[in-house]
Amino acid sequence: MELIRKYFPELTEDQLSKFEKLEELYKDWNLKINVVSRKDIDEIYLRHVIHSLGIAKVQKFNPGSKILDVGTGGGFPGIPLAIMFPESTFHLVDSIGKKIKVVDEVSEGLGLENVTSFNQRVEELNDNYDFIVSRAVAIMPTFVRWVKGKIAKDSNHDRRNGILYLKGGDLSEELKDYRTAEIFELSEFYEEDFFDTKKVVYLPMKYKG
C-alpha cells in the first residue's frame, strides 16, 4: 500500500480502502484458483496493481468512458483501473472461465459497480469502446487483429480512441508497422527497478462501422 500512496496521493479514502482490501481478496482466491504466481502475489502492489496503473499515468479516463480489458486474467489491468476511475465502465474479457470467476469474486468483494466480465473470446464481443487496454497477451499485430472493429466512433478525450498496451522489452520490431504508436517508459513515472523495461504503448485506432 505504500506504493499506492506514494504514486497516487490524490486517491480518496474509499479508493484507498478498496486498494487495501484487494490484496486480501487476491491472496484468498489465489489459494482456491491459482491465477497469480506465488512470487507475484507476495508483491501484488508492485507487480500487478502499480503496473496496471501505469496506464493511468499516461491516460486519465473521463466520466462515462467505456474501457475494454482484453485477456484480463485475474483482473489486471482492469480492476485497479476501475478503482481509479469509478465513473468509467470497464468490461473485462478472458477466454478462461476460472480467471473470470476470480474477477467476479474480487469485483464483488470490493463493491465495484463499474466492472462487467465476459468469459469469451474478444472477437465474439459486439460493442465499441473508447480505449482497449491489456497486458502483454499477444504481439501487437495479433492484438490489433483481435480488437478490430471494437473502437468507438466519437472520442471523449484529447487523445484519440485506441489501444493502451502494457509491454516490456525491445518493441522496435513488433511496432515497426505502426508509425502512429507512442511509447511511454514506466521508469519515468516509477523509480523501482521492476519498471526499468516496462512500457505503455498507445496506438490510435480508427472506427470501422
pLDDT at 36: 84
Binding residues for S-adenosyl-L-methionine, by number, are: 71, 76, 122-123, 135
Rounded-to-integer distance, Cα 8 and Cα 164, Å: 19
pLDDT digits (tens, 9 = 90+) for 54-94: 999 999 999 999 999 999 999 999 999 999 999 999 999 99
Q: Which residues pair with 162 in a beta bridge?
A: 131, 204
pLDDT at 38: 78
pLDDT-derived band of residue 209, with 50, 70 and 90 as boundaries? low
Task: Report the sign of the C-alpha dihedral through residues 70, 71, 76, 79, in that order.
Answer: positive
Cβ(161)–Cβ(66) below 8 Å: no
Cβ(106)–Cβ(115) below 8 Å: no
**What is the average per-residue pLDDT within 176-190?**
96
For the ranges 9-13, 133-137, 169-173, the one whose mean pLDDT is highest: 9-13
Q: What is the pTM of this model?
A: 0.97
**φ, ψ dihedrals at 92, nearest 5°:** -105, 125
Architecture of domain 1-204: 3-Layer(aba) Sandwich (3.40)
Instruction: Flag whether pLDDT at 115 surpasses 90.
Output: yes
Instruction: Flag whether pLDDT at 46 surpasses 80.
Output: yes
Binding residues, by number, are: 71, 76, 122-123, 135
**What is the average per-residue pLDDT within 187-199?**
97
Name residue 28's amino acid: D
Rounded-to-integer distance, Cα 106 and Cα 89, Å: 16
Instruction: Give whole-number Cα distances, 173 to 24, 49, 169, in Å.
Output: 40, 28, 11
Name the grid cell of 29. Answer: 482466491
Lookup result for grid cell 497477451:
137
pLDDT at 109: 97
Instruction: Flag whether pLDDT at 136 surpasses 90.
Output: no
